[in-house]
Amino acid sequence: MSEPGTEVGALVNELELAAEGLRKGELDADEAAGLVDRCAELAAQLAAELDRQARELEADSLAPGQERLL
């Protein structure tokens, strides 16, 4: 497992760079559309990573012998 926050930080940085590229307004329509798609991919990866970390923290917080109820 990577250090907590490392992957999140990398994804956030890449997302911020992509957003900055879109804000500059120097891209043609196809490039902008591709960058918007990349932002959506990054956001999905970020959400999945945050969810994974939250589940891991939750599992670590259970007392020994306890199970999470569904």
Query: Over the stretch 9-24, which tens digit does the pLDDT of each residue have?
Result: 999 999 999 999 999 9
- Specify the DSSP element, H or E, that contains 26: none
Q: Could you give the residue ranges of the DSSP H alpha helices within the chain?
A: 6-24, 29-61
What average pLDDT does range 18-42 have in this prediction? Answer: 94
| Structure-token match 């569904």, residue found | 70
Question: Model pTM?
Answer: 0.72
In the chain, what percentage of residues exceed pLDDT 90?
Answer: 64
Measuring CA to CA, how many Å separate 7 from each of 1, 4, 47, 50, 61?
A: 10, 7, 11, 10, 22
**d(Cα 12, Cα 5) in Å, to the nearest integer?**
10
Q: What is the mean pLDDT of the chain?
A: 86
Query: Over the stretch 52-67, which tens digit does the pLDDT of each residue have?
Result: 998 888 877 766 666 6
